[in-house]
Amino acid sequence: MNKFKELKERAWLCNMELPKRGLVIYTFGNVSAADRAAGVFAIKPSGVPYEELKAEDMVVVDFENNIVEGNLRYSSDTKTHTVLYNNFADVNGVVHTHSTYSVAWAQAGLAIPIFGTTHADHCAGDIPCTDFMSDEAIKGDYEIETGNQIVRTFESISYHETEMVLVAGHGPFTWGSTPEKAVYNSAVLEELAKMAFITRSINSNTPRLKEALVDKHYQRKHGKNAYYGQASK
Amino acid sequence: MNKFKELKERAWLCNMELPKRGLVIYTFGNVSAADRAAGVFAIKPSGVPYEELKAEDMVVVDFENNIVEGNLRYSSDTKTHTVLYNNFADVNGVVHTHSTYSVAWAQAGLAIPIFGTTHADHCAGDIPCTDFMSDEAIKGDYEIETGNQIVRTFESISYHETEMVLVAGHGPFTWGSTPEKAVYNSAVLEELAKMAFITRSINSNTPRLKEALVDKHYQRKHGKNAYYGQASK
Amino acid sequence: MNKFKELKERAWLCNMELPKRGLVIYTFGNVSAADRAAGVFAIKPSGVPYEELKAEDMVVVDFENNIVEGNLRYSSDTKTHTVLYNNFADVNGVVHTHSTYSVAWAQAGLAIPIFGTTHADHCAGDIPCTDFMSDEAIKGDYEIETGNQIVRTFESISYHETEMVLVAGHGPFTWGSTPEKAVYNSAVLEELAKMAFITRSINSNTPRLKEALVDKHYQRKHGKNAYYGQASK
Amino acid sequence: MNKFKELKERAWLCNMELPKRGLVIYTFGNVSAADRAAGVFAIKPSGVPYEELKAEDMVVVDFENNIVEGNLRYSSDTKTHTVLYNNFADVNGVVHTHSTYSVAWAQAGLAIPIFGTTHADHCAGDIPCTDFMSDEAIKGDYEIETGNQIVRTFESISYHETEMVLVAGHGPFTWGSTPEKAVYNSAVLEELAKMAFITRSINSNTPRLKEALVDKHYQRKHGKNAYYGQASK
């Protein structure tokens, strides 16, 4: 049975980008790739090191966490991915890593302030950090609650304009219209986290980027009159 | 039509040095190479990742921002390059990156102090940081205003003696008599930015290098009695 | 005489992981692999750079520090390994490195606080730092005393739940049920040490991770109802 | 004329270790290899990037700075090497780099405190930083004065027990009984500089390593009853 060969191949390729980009060691992350029409997503199996990961290992799951195809146990973070797919309408890829600088901000429990245009090229504001989860939520259905925590954080923020979040005490999740875009966002987030760390170390009073510059950079790349990139892209 | 094959090849090679030197990820930078006699420069197209970039993708532009050769949209930073070419007489290469440590200083809004001889080997003083742009300038012809901001910063500094600048809240631009030298300057700047960050973290009261040492190192390499390097170079 | 060919091969492969993972330069570390049934372990010889290390160079030692097979002098840290094998019953691999961030915490004389789930996925609490050794111990049988210092540190901590330690002023030791697991723990420790350093630099008041989260992450991976990883693993 | 082929080959191999070990970019360093019997040393030519460096480019110089063999101009730091050879009797290799963390301590004008056993394995005390040079010395025979500054710093320190120094505002020099050992010392120094930087960032009150431990580690590796390494080494 290999109905989802292409989807699994794509999810696998995206997973393999994580160690290549220095975002994970061993098993420290997972990517999923969704096929909305088929009502499923393919995700990394739990605890399999990237060095040994094969395309056929990917686990295909529906949006209620039932395994549709695959012989392995799915990533322990799968239910968090499901919550994001069920709440973020046109998202087709989700990534979770434990990349170093992003985790450090998450552990510090702080949003990453929008300090410069590198950040504004990708997000319209700070990269939010969720609240720390309540003991009840932790002891409940933990991975679903992690997803809920993220969704709550985006009640007042557009998940289109900021495709990344830090889960307090844990680490980053990113998403995108494609799984490739979600991986791209994870790499960009790690770079922004590192830049912001150094910036604050140089000048602990660094102000947020002025609103006019945030707007200019975000709009020239993502606005309706965007002139960044190629028209066909 | 391929009148500028050689120039585009050279611009492409210089662009490809950026990811090789760890100065950019994805699309985070651009190099241009000028042919003053022909009245044009070749520059990276907008939004094309370095992994996919080909020599024939380069866009050839004149010094009034008209496309002379090429099928792609030019880098969104092109007009900043043009301003620099039009104001810095014998510059034949310009580079813009979002390299980590240089961006951090730019975000902090601070010049990089001349702390040591590594710095004095390359610049005769601090690496300046522009003022933050006014809202009017941002909402005006932004990329031209970015160039103007740089030019203004060099009213009191020689652009021959300091071939690099930080644009506040944004990131570094470097230039040189050749595009290869401009790329070299970007790599050196990133190293100086990292060294200065660590220096200040070790000793927040580190003084600027004494004037006699600045002068000695700058002159032995760039002065009229320079004895650094090979005579033929 | 090559009775322990397989064991030496395994110890060698584990040793070679250290430079590959960026945990050692030159001769800055050593791995041993035990064969409890045979009453021996194989360990790196002293002062041989990783670049030149061969499987047949490994030295086979019994649990009283007698050489059983091998022509080279064993690692100067061998007796510390022996103390750990003699006190930590089901440990079959021990690793010592001078990896950068772990050494920095050891030099600072501080335990690495459990700041996040990356840490809780691997240890049930802080990564302890031993006391600084007494002058008597240093002038006595130094390497045995180093082992004793570690064993004493684990009188009140489970060496199963925390398979890593910092020796004050020196550096990290890790262990595991297999030598491969011990190497894995060294790489994880270095990552945790780096994350914790950055976390504290961002927010010097970062609290330890709340107990419910420590417990959740540690138990979902290591508890009796663990659901992380594959059943067969 | 190629009387010193072997010496130049050796100097070249040692020079090529610097970029391989991440200690230099472009032209940021130089290694010399001495042949005491022949009364000469081979050194890198000035301003030639490592990427283009060939063994036959090495310049052979006597201990009074006369070129004995070679068509290129010698490194601008050559006279500093000569001073060290003339004052440090059994030194046969000298290295100068602008490696990042070592330069940062030199720019900060601070000795690297002996914080741990990694340091004590290589030096019997702090890695000293020279005083800042006087204006007279800078305007005099600068490179010779740099050498004199180093020699003065070692009036009260054994250059055998500490084979490395920071020149204030400039960067590191290291030496050794062989050029290979001098290169090794440069790599070790950079690692010690990084470890010490992180250590102080974690705990700004970190004390120097207690004397008994300094002595133990230094003596077990370098003392007359040393048991580190192989007897034949």
Name which of A195, A203, A212 is nearest B135 (Cβ-Cβ).
A212
Subunits that touch chain A (at least 3 Cβ pairs < 8 angstroms)?
A: B, C
Name which of A196, A203, A212 is nearest B110 (Cβ-Cβ).
A203
Do A100 and C198 lie within an 8 Å CB cutoff? yes
B118 CB within 8 Å of a chain D CB? yes
A208 CB within 8 Å of a chain B CB? no
> What is the tens place of the pLDDT at every residue in C173-228?
999 999 999 999 999 999 999 999 999 999 999 999 999 999 999 999 999 989 99
Beta strands C40-43 and B171-176: pairing type?
unpaired
User: Is residue C233 predicted with pLDDT exceeding 60?
Assistant: no
Average pLDDT, chain A: 96
pLDDT computed for residue D37 by the predictor: 97
What is the rounded distance in angstroms from the CA atom of residue C66 to the CA atom of residue C41? Answer: 11
Do A105 and C209 lie within an 8 Å CB cutoff? no
Strand partners, C40: C35, C62
Do C138 and D206 lie within an 8 Å CB cutoff? no
What confidence category does residue B3 fall into, taking pLDDT thresholds of 50, 70 and 90? confident
Subunits that touch chain D (at least 3 Cβ pairs < 8 angstroms)?
A: B, C
User: Is residue C1 predicted with pLDDT exceeding 60?
Assistant: no
Do B197 and A202 lie within an 8 Å CB cutoff? yes
pLDDT computed for residue B233 by the predictor: 43
User: Is residue D233 predicted with pLDDT exceeding 70?
Assistant: no
> What is the tens place of the pLDDT at every residue in D144-170?
999 999 999 999 999 999 999 999 999
> What is the tens place of the pLDDT at every residue in A141-157?
999 999 999 999 999 99
Distance from CA of A118 to the nearest CA of B (A): 7
C104 CB within 8 Å of a chain A CB? no
Give the strand order in the sheet containing B171-176: B67-69, B59-62, B40-43, B29-35, B93-97, B171-176, B164-167
> What is the tens place of the pLDDT at every residue in C50-108?
999 999 999 999 999 999 999 999 999 999 999 999 999 999 999 999 999 999 999 99
Report, as an integer, the average pLDDT of D50-79. 96
User: Is residue B1 predicted with pLDDT exceeding 90?
Assistant: no
Nearest to A34 by CA among A24, A43, A44, A26: A43
Report, as an integer, the average pLDDT of D72-83. 97
Q: Please give the residue that has the higher pLDDT: either D3 or D161.
A: D161
Do B108 and A187 lie within an 8 Å CB cutoff? no
Query: Considering the entire predicted model, what is its pTM?
Result: 0.97
Do D227 and C73 lie within an 8 Å CB cutoff? yes
Average pLDDT, chain D: 96
What is the rounded distance in angstroms from the CA atom of residue A205 to the CA atom of residue A115? Answer: 11
C228 CB within 8 Å of a chain D CB? no
D108 CB within 8 Å of a chain C CB? no
Residues of C forming the active site: 121, 228
Name which of C184, C194, C221 is nearest A26 (Cβ-Cβ).
C184
**φ, ψ for residue B125, nearest 5 deg:** -170, -170
> What is the tens place of the pLDDT at every residue in B61-117?
999 999 999 999 999 999 999 999 999 999 999 999 999 999 999 999 999 999 999
AA identity, residue C158 = S
Among A121, A126, A142, A215, which one carries the catalytic annotation?
A121
Query: Do C163 and C100 form a contact (C-beta atoms < 8 A)?
Result: no
Name which of B198, B220, B233 is nearest D104 (Cβ-Cβ).
B198
Which of C103, C136, C204 is the best substitution to test chain D (most D C-beta atoms within 10 A)?
C103
User: Is residue B232 predicted with pLDDT exceeding 60?
Assistant: no
Distance from CA of B214 to the nearest CA of D (A): 10
Do A100 and C195 lie within an 8 Å CB cutoff? yes
> Is there a catalytic annotation at residue D121?
yes
Do D103 and B195 lie within an 8 Å CB cutoff? yes
Distance from CA of D219 to the nearest CA of B (A): 30
Distance from CA of B6 to the nearest CA of A (A): 24
pLDDT computed for residue A232 by the predictor: 54
Note the ipTM here: 0.96
Do B169 and A209 lie within an 8 Å CB cutoff? yes
DSSP C34-52: EETTTTEEEEPBTT--GGG
DSSP A42-89: EEPBTT--GGG--GGG-EEEETTS-EEE-SSPBPTTHHHHHHHHHHST
User: Is residue B15 predicted with pLDDT exceeding 50?
Assistant: yes
What confidence category does residue A2 fall into, taking pLDDT thresholds of 50, 70 and 90? confident
B199 CB within 8 Å of a chain D CB? yes
> What is the tens place of the pLDDT at every residue in A63-121?
999 999 999 999 999 999 999 999 999 999 999 999 999 999 999 999 999 999 999 99
Do D188 and C26 lie within an 8 Å CB cutoff? yes
Half-sphere exposure at residue D232, Cβ-oriented, CA atoms within 13 angstroms: 4
pLDDT computed for residue D2 by the predictor: 72
> What is the tens place of the pLDDT at every residue in A156-198?
999 999 999 999 999 999 999 999 999 999 999 999 999 999 9
Do A135 and C220 lie within an 8 Å CB cutoff? no
What confidence category does residue D114 fall into, taking pLDDT thresholds of 50, 70 and 90? very high
Residues on chain A touching B76 (C-beta within 8 angstroms): 220-221, 227-228
Name which of D100, D108, D135 is nearest B194 (Cβ-Cβ).
D100
Nearest-CA residue of chain C relative to A102? C195
Report, as an integer, the average pLDDT of D172-176. 98
DSSP chain D: --TTHHHHHHHHHHHHHHHHTT--STT-EEEEEEETTTTEEEEPBTT--GGG--GGG-EEEETTS-EEE-SSPBPTTHHHHHHHHHHSTT--EEEEE--HHHHHHHHHT--B---SHHHHTT-SS-B-BPPPPPHHHHHSSHHHHHHHHHHHHTTSS-TTT--EEEETTTEEEEEESSHHHHHHHHHHHHHHHHHHHHHHHH-TTPPPPPHHHHHHHHHHHHSTT--SS-TT-
For C111: left if phi > 0, alpha if psi spans -120 to 50, otherwise beta; the answer is beta
Nearest-CA residue of chain B relative to D133? B213
Tokens of C31: 């791995």
